[in-house]
Amino acid sequence: MKLLVIEDEPGLSQTITQFLQSQGHICETATTYQQAQEKIGVYAYDCVLIDLMLPGGNGLDILSQLKQEHQETGAIIISAKDSLGDKLAGLDLGADDYLPKPFHLAELNSRIKSILRRTKFEGSASLEVGRLRINTEARTVFVDNQPVSLNRKEYDLLLLFATNKNRVIKKSALAEHVWGDNADQSDSYDFIYSQIKNLRKRFSQVGYELDIQTVYGIGYKFLAD
Amino acid sequence: MRLLTRSTLLSALVFFVALISSGFYIFDQVSQEVEDEIGEELQNRKLEILASIAAQPNPLVTHSAIANDFQLDTISQAAYLALREHMEDISVYELVEQEYEPHRQLVTKFIHKGVYYRLRIHMSLLDLEDMGEVIAFSTGAVIVGLLLLSFLLNFFLQQRLWQPFYSTLAQLRAFRIDQPDPLFLPTSSVQEFKELNKTITNLTTVNQRSYQYQKQFVENASHEIQTPLAIALHQTEQLIQNPELTPADAQALELLTQQLERLSALNKALLLLSKIDNQQFGDTQLVNLGDIVRRTVDEYEFMADQKELHVQLTSQGDLKLAANQYLMEILVRNLVRNALFHAVAGGTITIQLVDRCLRIENTTASVAGQPEMLFGRFVKQSDKPQSLGLGLAIVKSICDTYQFTPTITLEANLFVISVQF
C-alpha cells in the first residue's frame, strides 16, 4: 500500500516511515504544509497520516483538500495536542481516525490496517491469520469456521495481536489498546498476563493453541504464518 | 469589628465624654454665679437689717419674732472677737415641704449700744438645685440627641464615603487568580480609593499574567517533551523486534522502555492536570454518573478478579450532572483504580452512589500521613514506587473545577474516599 506521512519532526517522520516500510508499505514523507499540498495534488495514496501543527499551515486544511480530491483515501490525524476540539473537527472533515502522540507503532499499525480494510474492501473484509479469521465488522472470530466467543477486551487484544503478528508488542501498547489511554497506568500492566491467559483458554476450548510468546519482560509476540 | 461600627462607636464615646464634662462645667459655672448672687443678696439683707436695727433700743425683742430669714443672738465679748464674718451651708426645716432644704447662711456680728450681737441671715438654695436639675436634664437630652445625630451621621456618611472601598473588597473576595476574568473596580473621586484600586488592578493583572504564563509553560513543555518521547519510544519498539537480542540487551531495553513509558505517563498526567486547570474542558453536557460508575466497575473487573477482591456496587437512581463527560469518566476511573490498586488482596471494595455522593471504600493495610495530603501532587505510598502519585491530584483538580467536595477518611482498616457533587 502507498502511504504518505505528513510530519514536520524529522526524527518522528523517520521512525514512522521506517516502521511502515518494514511492514511492506511504500511510504513517502512531507515535512511542510506546502510539500504536503503538492504531494496530495499530484499523487494518490491509500492512507495519509497528518500532523496538525505544520510549518506553513494547519493539517486540517490538508485534510479537507485531501478529502475533496481523493475521497477514498484514508486519513489518520496524529496530533500532539490531544484536544477534543481538534479530534471532532478532524473527524467532521472526514478523517478516519485520530491518534494522539505519543502512540505505539503497533497501535498505528492496527489503525492503518483497519482503515485499509475498510477503504479497500468496502468494510466487508475479514482478517485472516493462519487458521484464524476475524470479521472486524461483526467483531466475530472463527477458527476453521468454528466460532470462538470472546468478550470485548479479549477481542480487542486478539485484534491487536493479529494486526501485528510476528512482532513484539509492548505490554503498555496492549494495555492502552484494551483499557484506553490512561495516565497513572503502571498498575494495569500486570493484568495483561491474566488477560492473555484467558484468551489462550478461549481458543484451547475449541482446540486451537494460540501461539503468544512472552518476550523477556517487555511484551508479547503472536506467532502466526 | 467593621470599620464603620468602630468609627461610629469611637466618635459616640468621645461625644459622650465631652458632653458629660460640658454638663458639669456648665453646672459649675452657673452654680458659682448663683452663689455669688446669693452672697450679694445676703450682704444687702445684712445692711437692711443693720439699718433697721440702728434705731431700735433692743433689737432682739423687736426683730426675732417677725423676721424668719435671720436670727439675732447676743454673744460674749470673747465670742465676738473670735467670730469672723463668713458664709456657710446649712439645712433648714421647711414647714411647707416638711423636709430639710439646703440654705446659704451669712454669719456676721455687730455691736449695738455696747452689746455684742451675732447675726445669721439665710437664704434658700433651692433655686440653685432646681437649676442644676434643669441643666442636668437638658444636657442629658442634648447628649442623647447629639449622640443619635453623630451616630446616624457617621453611619450614613461613612457608609457612603466608604462605598467604593467595600465594593473593591467584594470584588477582591470573589477574585480568583486561576480565572481569566479581570476585576472591574469602581471608579471613585477619592484620591486614596483611586490609588488603592489602581494598585490592586496592577497587582492582580501581574499575578494573573504570571499565573497564566506558568500554566502555559507546563502545557507547552509537556507538548515539547512528547515528540522526543515518541521518537525514543518508537526506537525501543523497533529495537525489541530484533530476534538476536542478547538477554542483557533485552533487559537494558526493558528498563529503558519502562522508564520512557513512565516519563510519558507522567507527561500525559501533567498535561491533563494543566488542561484541567486551564479549563480546557469547557463543553458541558448532562452526564449520567451512575452509567459511568457501572461501566468503569465493569471495565476493571479483571483487576478485581486478579486480586480476588469483592466489589459491591450500590447506586440509588442515576445521578445526572452538568459536566464534561471526559472529565467525569477520568474522575470515576481514577477513584475506582485507586481503590483497586491499594486494596489488600482478597479484600472488599464498596462503591455507593447515593444522595449526590459517590463513596468508595477499600480495605487497606495502612496509610501513612494525613489523608488529605493524598490529594497533593506526587504524593504516593512508599510501597508503591511505580505509581505516579497524580491519580488523586487529578481527582482533586476536577473536583475543584466543578466545586465538588472530595474527602478522604480512614476508618480502622478502611480507606474511604467520597465526593459530594
Q: Concatenate the DSSP letters of all residues of B325-359 into one string.
A: HHHHHHHHHHHHHHHHHHSPTT-EEEEEEETTEEE
If one counts every other C-beta atom within 10 angstroms of the C-beta of residue A42, the result is 7
Count CA atoms within 13 Å of residue B33 on its CB side: 9
pLDDT tens digits, one per residue of B167-208: 888 888 888 777 777 778 878 888 888 898 899 989 988 988
Question: How far is residue A127 CA from its own chain's centroid?
Answer: 14
pLDDT of residue B67: 61
Is the pLDDT confidence value at A102 over 70?
yes
Query: For residues B131 and B354, which has the higher predicted lDDT (pLDDT)?
Result: B354
Are the C-beta atoms of A183 and B331 separated by less than 8 Å? no
Question: How far is residue B69 CA from its own chain's centroid?
Answer: 69
pLDDT tens digits, one per residue of A121-172: 765 678 888 888 998 888 899 998 899 999 888 899 999 999 999 999 988 8
Tally helices (H) and strands (E) across chain B: 11, 11
CA angle B285, B287, B288 (to 5 degrees): 155
CA angle A88, A164, A162 (to 5 degrees): 95
- Residue A6 pairs in a beta bridge with A30, A50
Q: B223 vs A84: CB contact, 8 Å cut-off?
A: no
Are the C-beta atoms of A106 and A169 separated by less than 8 Å? yes
Q: What whole-number distance in Å separates Cα of residue B180 and Cα of residue B182?
A: 6
pLDDT of residue B24: 84
Ramachandran angles phi, psi of B39, nearest 5°: -60, -45
| Nearest chain A CA: its distance from B295 CA (Å) | 12
Closest Cα in chain A to B258: A218
| Nearest chain A CA: its distance from B269 CA (Å) | 5
- A12 touching B, CB under 8 A? yes
Is the pLDDT confidence value at A25 over 90?
yes
ipTM value: 0.86
Q: What whole-number distance in Å separates Cα of residue A168 and Cα of residue B72?
A: 141
| Nearest chain B CA: its distance from A218 CA (Å) | 5
pLDDT of residue B163: 85
pLDDT of residue B64: 56
Query: For residues B56 and A198, which has the higher predicted lDDT (pLDDT)?
Result: A198
pLDDT of residue A4: 95
Query: For residues B66 and A163, which has the higher predicted lDDT (pLDDT)?
Result: A163
Confidence of residue B131 (pLDDT cuts 50, 70, 90): confident
- A182 touching B, CB under 8 A? yes
The residue-averaged pLDDT of B296-308 equals: 82
CA angle B282, B287, B292 (to 5 degrees): 120
Are the C-beta atoms of A202 and A157 separated by less than 8 Å? no
Chain A residues with CB-CB distance to B271 below 8 A: 82
Is the pLDDT confidence value at B412 over 80?
no
Are the C-beta atoms of A212 and A166 separated by less than 8 Å? no
- A186 touching B, CB under 8 A? yes
Candidates A81, A213, A218, A221: best to mutate against B (most CBs of B within 10 A) is A218
Cell reading at B86: 463668713
- A11 touching B, CB under 8 A? yes
- B278 touching A, CB under 8 A? no
Torsion angle in degrees (nearest 10) through CA of B216, B217, B220, B224: -170
pLDDT of residue A74: 92
Query: Could you say which residues from 333 to 392 on chain B have a Cβ atom under 8 Å away from some Cβ of chain A?
Result: 333-334, 337, 340-341, 386-388, 390-391
The residue-averaged pLDDT of B218-223 equals: 79
pLDDT of residue A201: 92
Average pLDDT over chain A reads 87
- A122 touching B, CB under 8 A? no
| Nearest chain A CA: its distance from B175 CA (Å) | 28
pLDDT of residue A183: 43
pLDDT of residue B32: 85
Q: B394 vs A183: CB contact, 8 Å cut-off?
A: yes
- A16 touching B, CB under 8 A? yes
**Rg of chain A, C-alpha, whole Å:** 18
Candidates B235, B239, B267, B268: best to mutate against A (most CBs of A within 10 A) is B268
Closest Cα in chain A to B393: A184
- B271 touching A, CB under 8 A? yes
Chain B residues with CB-CB distance to A185 below 8 A: 265
Is the pLDDT confidence value at A221 over 90?
yes
Q: A105 vs B238: CB contact, 8 Å cut-off?
A: yes
- A172 touching B, CB under 8 A? yes
